[in-house]
Chains A and B, each alone.
Chain A
Amino acid sequence: MSTPNGLIDPSDPRLREEEAVAVATLVSATGSSSKKLGSKMIVGRSGRLLGGVTIGGCVDAQVIEAADAMIARNDGERRRLLAISLDDDEAWEIGLTCGGTLEVMIDRVDPKSSDDPVVVAHQRARALLDSGETVVIATPVESGVPTALAESELAGWSSDDRVFMDRIAPPLTAIIVGAGEIAMSMTHFARELDWRTVVVDGRERYANRERFPDADDVLVGMPSELVARTMTEARSPKNVAIVLVSHDYKYELPILRNILREPVAYIGMLGSRKRGVAVRDLLREEGFTDDELARIHSPIGLDIGGKSSGEVALSIVAELVAVRSGRRP
């Protein structure tokens, strides 16, 4: 399937039906916030939306119209830059802070061609993301072909043209240990955020598909081993968050022993401040340093005053977003 980040997947059956599609990318937004830069839409015949996320409001209509026309004409045009002026009201409508000019790069793509430069770049990007790498798709905006690079390869790459750098991080894998109600709510929220969720427990009556229809995986067995295995499968621990909501030291301690020295994105543990201190003290006796123990977010979640399991889950998800975006250590 086409990914939410708008990368072309030639195996997507909806794309195989199309002779050509248009990939529209927001590449500049002058006089406004840059938060939507990189938003992509995949548009097919008759303006069918086939993937990506909409840019929003009145902009979508103009982009779809231009993309549809480009596909229908089939006159050899591969790239168009669409400039769209917005007044303040229109900018607010799509989540930007004030009006200005947007620039949308529209590429005509043959999704069935293995030579199409966008298909080539997106395939490499998908492979890099699958291996846990953060990807940058570098596209000379006026006419050049896109190049997908691992972030680590960026230093050796340059261009004299105006280049749009589209940075795409691999999706987060949240390993949720303890298949209670908080975990159930977390999998609902995580799905909205396109996170991969793996629910782990030693008890089958808790960890099962009936209770976790939204989870990508539900695993029953020895939790510390299942977490280790899932981390290995995720390839890069930097894209893994460990959420301990079992409220049971028998799972927490063996897992913490395994992960405290791994560069995982986040470690959170349910429980009171006092309980968190007790667990840290025990692990300190085993040789873990204060810096390593400080990585445990406990009490878990942002303090939003929530009480119910759904509210606690929301606070955990919010903390994870804050940590990933650098708003929380």
Chain B
Amino acid sequence: MSDRPTAFRAVVLEHFKRPKNRGPLEDASVSAEGANPLCGDRIRVQLRIVDGAVADARFTADACAICIAAASVLTERARGMRVDALQVIDRAWVEHALDGAPPPARVKCATLPLDTLHRAAEMAREQSRAP
């Protein structure tokens, strides 16, 4: 059996130090922001949508290591997916990608980028429905 807390910490640290897709997306189709008012984490998820699919996904964040790591794996996962399919990415997937679950007090750190990605997907769907 793997040492889950140790593996989780290693994955989080790696993504925190070398996050994927960090930085603004200049030609974003949608941009969603999220915040945790208690701890002050702030994140923006931006998607570029082409023909109903995510052509590019990036994030900007002033946030803790767990939040950055979750945003890193989520934006990596979202690329290439259909917008309608983004909602199927859930907390369990994030925990799997991070090789473990955050401590109970830090669960919101991992779900903040997930919720923000879902909001961005919703915005993209509304945009596609607009006349």
Contacts and interface: CB of A to CB of B under 8 A. Distances in A.
A151 to B, nearest CB: 36
Interface string A247-258: 010110011000
B62 A250 contact: yes
A202 B42 contact: yes
Given A202-B35, A222-B44, A248-B40, A285 B17 contact: yes
Interface residues of A, number: 19
A223 B41 CA distance: 10
A246 B40 CA distance: 10
Interface in A240-291: 246, 248, 250-251, 254-255, 282, 285
A329 B29 CA distance: 46
B64 interface: yes
Interface string B4-16: 0000000000000
Interface in B12-39: 17, 35, 37-39
B60 interface: yes
A204 interface: yes
Interface in B43-76: 44, 60-64, 67
A254 B62 contact: yes
A250 B64 contact: yes
A54 interface: no
Contact of B63 (A206, A250, A255): A250
Given A223-B62, A250-B62, A254-B62, A204 B37 contact: yes
A202 B36 CA distance: 9
Interface string A192-228: 0000000001111110000000000000011111000
Contacts, number: 39
A222 B42 contact: yes
A148 to B, nearest CB: 40
Nearest to B68: A250
Given A223-B42, A285-B17, A205 B62 contact: no
A226 to B, nearest CB: 9
B112 to A, nearest CB: 12
Interface size class of B (residues with CB under 8 A): 10 to 19
Contact of A251 (B17, B35, B62): B62
B42 A221 contact: yes
A245 to B, nearest CB: 13
B37 A224 contact: no
B37 A203 contact: yes
Which among B38, B40, B61, B63 has the highest number of chain A CB atoms within 10 Å?
Answer: B40
A221 B61 CA distance: 11
A201 B40 contact: yes
A169 to B, nearest CB: 31
A255 B37 CA distance: 20
Given A222-B60, A223-B62, A224-B62, A203 B40 contact: yes
A282 B44 CA distance: 23
Contacts of A204: 37
A251 B35 CA distance: 13
Nearest to A246: B40
B117 to A, nearest CB: 17
Contacts of A282: 17
Contacts of B35: 202
B2 to A, nearest CB: 26
Contacts of A201: 40
A221 B39 CA distance: 13
Enumerate the 6 nearest inter-chain pairs by beta-carbon distance, A residue then B residue, closest first.
Answer: A202-B40, A203-B40, A222-B42, A202-B42, A250-B64, A222-B62
27 contacts: A201-B40, A202-B35, A202-B41, A202-B62, A203-B37, A203-B38, A203-B39, A203-B40, A204-B37, A205-B37, A221-B42, A222-B60, A222-B61, A223-B62, A224-B62, A225-B60, A225-B62, A246-B40, A248-B40, A250-B40, A250-B62, A250-B63, A250-B67, A251-B40, A251-B62, A254-B62, A255-B62
Given A246-B40, A250-B62, A251-B40, 13 more contacts: A201-B40, A202-B35, A202-B40, A202-B41, A202-B42, A203-B40, A223-B62, A224-B62, A225-B60, A225-B62, A250-B64, A250-B67, A251-B62
